[in-house]
Structure 1
Amino acid sequence: MIAEPRTYNGAPLRKCTHVSGRDFLTLLRFVMRHKWLPFAGMALGFGAGLAALALMPPLYSASTRVMVERDALRTEAQIVESTPVFEKVAGTLGLYRDPRFAKESVFEKIMQSGDEENALRERVIGRLEKIVSVRALEGTGILDITVRFSNPERAAQIANVVLSAYRERKMDERFEQSREISAWMGKHLESVRKQADDAQKRLQDYQIKYGIATDSDTGARGQIQILQSQIEAGEVAIAALKAKLAGMPEPQAKAVSPALKTEEAAIKKQIQIQGQRYGDKHPKMIALNAALQSVRAKLSRKTMDPRKAISAEIADTEDKLGRMRTELEAISKSASEGSKVQYELTALQSEAAANMRLYENMLVKYQNVVADADLQDQGLKIVSMATIPSSPDQQNRLSLLLGLGITGFLIGALVVFIRAFFNTGFTNAAQLEGMTGYPVFAAVPDAAMKGVAIHHTVIEKPAAILAESLRSLRVALRLRSDNTIRGPRVVSVTSTLPNEGKTSLAVMLAMIAAKSGERVCIVDCDLRRPSLHKAFGIGNARGLQDYLNGDSSVEDVIYRRDSSGVHMITAKAAPTYSLTLLTSGRMELLIQDLRDRYDFIVLDAPSSLAFADARVLAKMVDQTMYVVSWNRTRREGVLTSLKAYADMGYENLALVLNKVDLREYLRESASAVVYQYGHEETPLAAT
C-alpha cells in the first residue's frame, strides 16, 4: 500500500489530507478494471477440469461402516489407513499381481532404485492409499471406509477386505498387548514380592535395634506429666513455708552447753596436733574433722530457733526441685530422640505396607490377564458392509471440476492483487496530486505511431486526443496567471529521470502554441544529454554553449527554418560544466532577450532527481512543468525530486502525467467524458 504522504513546506498549492482513502479507491478500481482475469482463470480451470474428466475413467464408490469408541475416532482412522492393514489387504486380494496396482508407470521406471520387491510393495500400498479414504461421521462413533475404483466389484471387495484386515489388526494388537502384559507381570511379580519382604524385614530389624514398643512414647509423656505435677507442688510448699517464716517473731538467745564447747575445743586441739604429723587425706584427720562437724551440729541444734528450722526445710525443698527439674530435662531430651526414631519407624511401616499393596494389586491383575483366554474385539461393531455400486460417483467428478475452477479464480485474483500491490507508479491525476501536493495540469496520452515521431503527430492529426490534451495544457498555462494577462511566457520542462518524454512534450507544446499563431522558441538547456536537435532532425554545431561562452550572439544560435514555425536553440553535450554555464549571468540575459522576441518560450531542462540544473532554471522562468511517466516513474523518486523544489520554497510548479495508457486511464478518471466527447470515431494508436 502507499505510505502516508507528506506535505512539504514549499508546496502550498494543495493540502494532501485524503490520500489514504483515494489510494484505497485506486486499488479497488485497479482490481475492478482487471476483474476479467480471475474469471478467465476460472474458465481456464473449468476447461482443464472438463478435459481431465473426459480422459479419466469413471470411478465407483463402495463404503463400509464400523462403530468404535467415540474418544478414539482419530486413532482408529489412522489404524485403518496404516501400512500393516494395507499390506494384509494386498496379500489377501493378490494385488501384487494385479496390473492395475502393480504396473509401473514410465516415471516410476525412471526413478526406481534399490530392491524391486520393496518397490513393488511401496507401489501397491501407495495406490491403495489413494483409493481408500476414512472419515468419522460427525456426532457419532462411526468410521466410514470408502473405496473409489474404476471397477465396481473390485471397489466393494477392497472395502470389505479393508474392514476385515482392520478387525484382525485390532485382535492381533489386543492379543499382543495381553501377552506382553502377562510376560511383564510374570517377570516383575517376584521382584515386587521380594521388595515387600525386604521392607518388612527392615522394619522388624529397626524395632529390635531400638527396642521400640507401640506405647513407649505414651510412657515418656506420663513421666513428664508426673514430674511437672511434683515440681508445681514443691513450688507451692516453698511459697507456704516462706509465708510462715515471714510471720514468726524474732527468737530469744539460748544458753550454750559448756560440755559441748569443751568437747569442741579438745577436738580442735587434736586436729592441730595430728595435722603436724599427718596430711588432710589421712584417715585420722578425716575422723577428727567428722567429729568436729558433729559437735558443731549439736551446738547448732542447741542454739537453733524455729525460724532456722523452716529455712532449712525451704532449702531442702528447693534442692529436691532442682533434682526434679534436671530429671525432667533428661526425660524430655530422651523423648525427643524417641520421636525421631518413631518417625523413621513410621516411614518403614508405610514403605512395607505400600510394597505389600503393590504386590497384591499386581497379583490380582496378573490372575485376570491369565484368566482372560477368550479374546473378543470389544468396542468394534460392524454397522454395514460394502455392496457393489450400480453407478459411478459423480460427486467426486463435480468436486474435481469445482476445485479446478475455484483454483483458477484464486490464481487470477492473486495475480491481480500482486500487480496492484507492486504497482509503484502513478495511474491518475488525483493520486499524483494527493501524494505530491502540486496540481496536475494535464494527462497526455501515449499516441506514438509506427514510423512517425510522436511530436509530428500533433501536426499531422490536429484533431486527435493527443493534440487536444496539449491544447488543454496550453490553456491551463494561460489560466495560471498571477501578474500577467497572458499567463507564464517562459516555461521549463523537466522530469524525475531521463526517457520520461519531457523533450517530446516540450516540442509538442511548442508546436501547439505555434500552430495557434504564437511566436514560439524552444531552447535545449539539457547540456548533459541534449536531444532537441534529434527531435527536429537538424545539427547542433552551434547552439546554447556558444552563446553562454560569448562566442556567438542570439541571432547566430537561433534556428528558424522548421516547417512547424517553431524557432529553436540547440545544444551540445557539456556535462562537466553544465551547471556553471547555466548559472552564468548570460543565461538570464538570454531569457530576457527571448521574452522581447517571442510570445512563448519553452526550456527543455535536464532531469531533476540527480542534477540541480532544472532547479537553477526554475528561478529564471515563470512556470516549471514537471513530467511524470504514467505507471512507470516510481513514486519514491518523484517525491524525492519534488522535495528539493519544496525545500527551496518554489511554488510555480505543475505536474503533467505523460505517456498515459488512455484506455486504462479513462476507466478510473473523471476526464473520461472530456476525452471521449467528440472522439468516438477517432482510433487510438497502440503503443
Structure 2
Amino acid sequence: MHRYRAIFPRDLSARAQAGSTFAFPCAGGSSRRCLRRTTMFASPLIDPLSSRRVLPFACTVLAQREDATLMLDRPVESRPPADKRPTLRTPVPVAAPIEPEGMTVTALIAALRRRRWVLILCALLFPIAAWVAAKQLTPRYTASTTVMFEPTDYAARELQSILRDETTTDAVLASQVEVIRSLSVARRIVRQFDLTNNDEFFWWAGEAKRVETPLYRWSDALARRLNSISPSLAVLVAPEPPAARPPEERAEIAAAEAVRDRLQVAVVRNSRVLTVSFTSENPRLAMEAANLASELYISDQLETKFNAVRRANDWLDGRVGQLRQELGQTEARIAELRTSSGLTRGVSAALSTEQVSKINSDLVDSRNILAMAEARLAAARSGGGGADMTALGASNLVQQRAQRDTARADLERLSATLGANHPDVRAARSRLQDIDRAVGSETGRVVQALDAAVREARARVRSLEDSLRSQEARVNQSQTAEIQVAALEREAEASRTLLRAVLERSQQTVSQTAIEKPDARILSPATMPGTPSFPKTMLMVIAATVLGVVFGLLVIWFLEQSDSTLRSGEEIRAGLGLPCLALVPMLRRGLLGRHRVEDYVVRKPLSPFAESMRTLRAALWLGSEPPRVVVITAARPGEGKTTTSVALARSAAMNGERVLLIDCDVRQPSLGRVFRCEGAPGVTDLLLGQAVLERIIRRDHLSSLDYIPAGAAEIHSLGLFMSEAMAGLLDRVRRDYDLIVLDAPPALAMADARVVARLADATLLCVRWRDTPRSVVRNSLGLLEEAHARVVGAALTQVDAKVHGRSGYADAEVYHPRYGGYFRE
C-alpha cells in the first residue's frame, strides 16, 4: 500500500465523505487498464486564525498497487504532441507613457513634504554656521556724531568769490561729506591718537608681534638647522622676515587711508544733517575719533572764514589807497587841461560857434556866384545860342554870328548854281571869311571877360574856406578840451563813489571778524557704543536662515529633478504606461516581531500588507481576461518579487482558491529558504525527467498553498524553460489549479524571465519604491515586450507607509489614519 496526497476538483472534494470510495482509471496503456477501488478519508482543513472552513478538502488516498502504474505516479516525461502545445498568449499592448503635468502648487507642496528634512537641515545648518562664524570674528564698534550744516547769509558784494553764499543742494552736501573725509582730517586724527603704532590701522605695527609667535620661532629654528644640511630647503622652510617700517610720512599716510576707510559720513535724507561715524575695535577710540572728526570739520570751517575775512580786509585797505591815488591824479589832469586850453566855462564856445555860422553862409553865396560864372564861361567857349550871349553882354557877337550864317548860305547857293570859280562865288567866299575873323575876335574878348569873373569868384571862395577851416579848428580844439575835461570829471566822480563804497565794506568786514561763526554745528556728540556694530549676529543668522531655506529649496529641486525612481502609482502610469495594481507596504523589523515577511499575510490577515495582496489579486481577477498563470518578475534583484509571489499565492489560497507557486528563479532560488525545503527536488528535476510532478509538489504549512521549489541548480535553465516539457507542465497544472504563480528571475539580466513570461497568461512587474530607476524599468519592460509577454501592470514594493502617506500623491490616501479602523496589525 502506498499513501498518496492529491488535490481533487472542488466539486468532488466538496461531496467527499469519510470512507467514500472512488474509482480511478489507471494510465498504463490499453492492456493495463484497471479500476482502482480507493478509499478516501476526507477531512476539511480549518483556518487556524479564523476557524472557518475556507480551504479545499485534502484527501488521503489509499490504493493498493498492482502491476499497473497509477497516473499520479508517472513522472512528467511524456510530452504532448506538437499540435497539442498551448498557444502563446498575445501580449497586452502597453500604453504610451503619459506626459506628466507641469509643476503645480500641490506637487510643489508634496515635494516639500517628502524632502522636508533636507529643508529643515539646511535651514538649521546655515544659521548655526553663521552664528559660529560671527562668534569667531573680532567685534567692531561704531560711534556716530550728528552735525547740522547751516551756511551763514553774510557775503560782501565785492567778495562773492571768497565768501559767496550758495544754496544748500545735494552737491553742496556731498562736498561737505568729502571735506569731512579728507586726507588732512584723517592725518590729524592719526597724529592725535598715534595710530601709526596701532596694528588695526597700520599693518606694519603687527610685524613685531609676528616675530614673537611660536610658529615663527619654530620655523626660524628649523631653517637654521637645515641651513647646514640643505640651504635651498632652509630657504623654503624659513619664515618671511618682518617688513621694515616705512618712513614716518608714508606710515602716516597709510594709517590715514585706513582711517578714511573707517570714517563714514552720510546725509540724512531730505535734511541738512550729516552723520559722522567711525568704526574701530576699541569703542572709546570710535567715540573719540568721531567727535574729533566733527570738531576738526567745524574748526576748519571757522578758520577758513577767518582767513577769508583777513584776506578781504587786506585787499580792501589796498584798494582804498589805490582809489585815493587815482582820484588825486584825475583832479590834477582836469586843472591842467583847463589851464592849457584857456577854457572859460560857456562864453568862448558860444562866440566861436556864431562866427563859424556866418562864414558858412558867406561861403555858400560865393560858391553859387562861382558856379554861375563858370557856367557862362563854358557857354561862351562852346559858342552857345544868341540868348545866352545876350545874357552874357555880347550882343555884337550875336549879330556877327547871324551875318556869318547868312553869308554861308549865300555861298552854298551860288556854288550850287554858278560853280566854284565864278566871281560871285569867290566874292561870297571872301565876304564869309571876313565875317569869321570878326566873330573870332569878338568871341575872344567875351571869353576873357568871363574868365576874369570866374577867377575872382574862386578867390572869394578860397578865402572864405580858409577862414572857415581856421575858425573850425579853433572851435574843435575848444570842444575837445571840454570833452576831455567832462570825461575826467566823470571819472573823478566814479572814483569818489567807489572809494566811499570800499571804505564802507572795509568797515563791515572789520566788524564781521568779531561776529563770524562756522557753517555747521554739532547736534549730538558721539557716545561710547555698548554693542558691536559688526558682526550683526542676529542679522547674519536671519540672512543665513533665508539663504539656508533658499539653498534647501534648490537642493530639493535638484533631488527631485535627479530622482529617476518611481514613487507612486501616478508616476508608474505616467512613466511606464502601466497600471499600478498595488502598493505593497514595507514591513519594518519592529512591526514584524518574530514573524517573517513572507508569513505576515497569514499571521496578520487584516493588516495593510495583506490588504495590498488582496488588492493585487482583485486587480488580476477583475481584468477582461482573468489570467490563470501569472509571472511575477522585476527589473533587478532585491525588488521584493519573491515576497510578493509568496504573499500573493498565500492570500489567494486563504481566499479559497487552488493556488500553485512555482520557483522559476533557478540560479538564486528563494522558495526553498522561505518554506525551509532547501535541496528538495523541484521544477528543474521535473523538466529534466528526473522527478514526477506529484513528488515535487509540496504543501505550505500555514495555508493550503501548493508550491514547487526550483530544484537542482542548472546552468542550462533557459533550454529547460524553452522546452516542450515546460509548456506541458503549465498546460497540465492549468487544469488542476485556479491560479499558478511563477516566481521568475529579474527580467533585465536573465533571459529565463522573458521565456517564462511568454508562456504565461499575464506578467506582473515588481518595482521597488523610490529605488529602481525608471530607465532600468523601461529597459526591462522593453525586453518583456520584445518577448511578447502580456504585462498587465506593475506593483510598487517596499513602500514606506508613513513617508508615502505624507508625500501628497493621490494613492497615498490609503495610508491615511482615517482608514485605521479597517486594519489590524
Q: Structure 2 length normalisation: TM-score?
A: 0.47
Alpha-carbon distance change, 130 to 502 in structure 1, aligned in 2, over 3 angstroms: farther
Aligned runs of 1:498-513 on 2, under 5 Å?
498-513=637-652
The Cα of 1:417 is off from its aligned counterpart by 2.7
Residue 93 of structure 1 is matched in structure 2 by 193
Aligned runs of 1:459-538 on 2, under 5 Å?
459-482=602-625, 487-538=626-677
SS of structure 2 residue aligned to 1:512: helix
Which of 110, 116, 123 aligns to 2:242? It is: 116
Q: Which runs of 5+ in 1 are unaligned?
A: 1-8, 167-380
Q: Is the 8 A contact 1:63 1:385 kept in 2?
A: no
Residue 601 of structure 2 is matched in structure 1 by 458
Q: In the alignment, does 2:724 pair up with 1:591?
A: no
Q: Is the 8 A contact 1:42 1:405 kept in 2?
A: yes
Counterpart Cα distance in 2 of 1:427 and 1:81: 67
The Cα of 1:623 is off from its aligned counterpart by 1.1
What letter matches 1:578 in structure 2? Answer: S
Residue 553 of structure 2 is matched in structure 1 by 413
Alpha-carbon distance change, 135 to 453 in structure 1, aligned in 2, over 3 angstroms: farther
The Cα of 1:464 is off from its aligned counterpart by 1.3
SS of structure 2 residue aligned to 1:576: coil
Q: In the alignment, does 2:582 pair up with 1:439?
A: no
Q: 1:587-643 CA deviation, whole Å, 9 max, x = no partner?
A: 111111211222211101110112222221122111111000000001111111112
Q: Is the 8 A contact 1:152 1:389 kept in 2?
A: no
Aligned runs of 1:207-606 on 2, under 5 Å?
387-392=525-530, 396-449=536-589, 452-482=595-625, 487-560=626-699, 562-572=701-711, 574=713, 576-606=715-745
Alpha-carbon distance change, 143 to 511 in structure 1, aligned in 2, over 3 angstroms: farther
Q: Is the 8 A contact 2:629 2:742 kept in 1?
A: yes
Q: In the alignment, does 2:713 pair up with 1:632?
A: no
Alpha-carbon distance change, 554 to 406 in structure 1, aligned in 2, over 3 angstroms: same
The Cα of 1:393 is off from its aligned counterpart by 5.7
The Cα of 1:59 is off from its aligned counterpart by 5.2
Residue 29 of structure 1 is matched in structure 2 by 110
Query: Which stretch shifts more, 608-617 or 157-166?
Result: 157-166
Q: 1:213-259 CA deviation, whole Å, 9 max, x = no partner?
A: xxxxxxxxxxxxxxxxxxxxxxxxxxxxxxxxxxxxxxxxxxxxxxx
Counterpart Cα distance in 1 of 2:809 and 2:638: 25
Alpha-carbon distance change, 386 to 476 in structure 1, aligned in 2, over 3 angstroms: same
Residue 191 of structure 1 is matched in structure 2 by none
The Cα of 1:15 is off from its aligned counterpart by 4.3
SS of structure 2 residue aligned to 1:644: helix
Counterpart Cα distance in 2 of 1:658 and 1:615: 21
Counterpart Cα distance in 1 of 2:171 and 2:716: 88
The Cα of 1:63 is off from its aligned counterpart by 4.5
Query: Which stretch shifts more, 41-50 or 522-531?
Result: 41-50
Residue 62 of structure 2 is matched in structure 1 by none
Alpha-carbon distance change, 150 to 527 in structure 1, aligned in 2, over 3 angstroms: same
What letter matches 1:531 in structure 2? Answer: S
Alpha-carbon distance change, 22 to 577 in structure 1, aligned in 2, over 3 angstroms: farther
Counterpart Cα distance in 2 of 1:89 and 1:572: 97
The Cα of 1:153 is off from its aligned counterpart by 2.5
Counterpart Cα distance in 1 of 2:296 and 2:560: 55
Alpha-carbon distance change, 11 to 419 in structure 1, aligned in 2, over 3 angstroms: farther
Q: 1:348-368 CA deviation, whole Å, 9 max, x = no partner?
A: xxxxxxxxxxxxxxxxxxxxx
The Cα of 1:505 is off from its aligned counterpart by 0.8
Residue 38 of structure 1 is matched in structure 2 by 119
Q: Is the 8 A contact 1:624 1:653 kept in 2?
A: yes
Alpha-carbon distance change, 592 to 649 in structure 1, aligned in 2, over 3 angstroms: closer
SS of structure 2 residue aligned to 1:491: strand
Aligned runs of 1:77-88 on 2, under 5 Å?
none
Q: Structure 1 length normalisation: TM-score?
A: 0.55
Alpha-carbon distance change, 563 to 33 in structure 1, aligned in 2, over 3 angstroms: closer
What letter matches 2:633 in structure 1? Answer: T
Counterpart Cα distance in 2 of 1:410 and 1:149: 34
Q: Is the 8 A contact 1:10 1:645 kept in 2?
A: no
What letter matches 1:410 in structure 2? Answer: V
The structure having more radius of gyration, on CA atoms, is 2
The Cα of 1:453 is off from its aligned counterpart by 2.2
Q: 1:302-340 CA deviation, whole Å, 9 max, x = no partner?
A: xxxxxxxxxxxxxxxxxxxxxxxxxxxxxxxxxxxxxxx
Counterpart Cα distance in 1 of 2:822 and 2:521: 74
What letter matches 1:152 in structure 2? Answer: P
Alpha-carbon distance change, 647 to 131 in structure 1, aligned in 2, over 3 angstroms: farther
The Cα of 1:92 is off from its aligned counterpart by 6.1
Counterpart Cα distance in 2 of 1:80 and 1:117: 29
Q: Is the 8 A contact 1:630 1:658 kept in 2?
A: yes
Alpha-carbon distance change, 99 to 133 in structure 1, aligned in 2, over 3 angstroms: closer
Residue 265 of structure 1 is matched in structure 2 by none
Counterpart Cα distance in 2 of 1:130 and 1:536: 85
What letter matches 2:589 in structure 1? Answer: M
Counterpart Cα distance in 2 of 1:633 and 1:645: 17
The Cα of 1:151 is off from its aligned counterpart by 3.9
Q: Is the 8 A contact 2:684 2:714 kept in 1?
A: no
Aligned runs of 1:179-218 on 2, under 5 Å?
none
Q: Is the 8 A contact 1:608 1:641 kept in 2?
A: yes
Q: Is the 8 A contact 1:62 1:156 kept in 2?
A: yes
Residue 350 of structure 1 is matched in structure 2 by none
Q: Is the 8 A contact 2:265 2:276 kept in 1?
A: yes
SS of structure 2 residue aligned to 1:441: strand
Counterpart Cα distance in 2 of 1:28 and 1:18: 20
The Cα of 1:493 is off from its aligned counterpart by 0.5
What letter matches 2:193 in structure 1? Answer: L
SS of structure 1 residue aligned to 2:767: strand
The Cα of 1:110 is off from its aligned counterpart by 4.6
Q: In the alignment, does 2:820 pair up with 1:679?
A: yes
Counterpart Cα distance in 1 of 2:657 and 2:600: 19
Residue 192 of structure 1 is matched in structure 2 by none
Counterpart Cα distance in 2 of 1:526 and 1:512: 21
The Cα of 1:42 is off from its aligned counterpart by 3.7
Q: Is the 8 A contact 2:266 2:275 kept in 1?
A: yes
Instruction: Give the percent of matched residue pairs that are identical in Structure 1 and Structure 2.
Output: 29
Which of 753, 759, 762 aligns to 1:614? It is: 753
Q: Which runs of 5+ in 2 are unaligned?
A: 1-89, 150-168, 220-238, 298-518
What letter matches 2:820 in structure 1? Answer: H
Counterpart Cα distance in 2 of 1:585 and 1:539: 27
The Cα of 1:502 is off from its aligned counterpart by 0.6
Counterpart Cα distance in 2 of 1:87 and 1:538: 96
Counterpart Cα distance in 2 of 1:436 and 1:81: 73
Residue 662 of structure 1 is matched in structure 2 by 801
Counterpart Cα distance in 1 of 2:547 and 2:554: 10
Q: Number of paired residues?
A: 454
SS of structure 1 residue aligned to 2:797: strand
Q: 1:85-126 CA deviation, whole Å, 9 max, x = no partner?
A: 9999767634465588877799986589423357999xx989
What letter matches 2:100 in structure 1? Answer: V
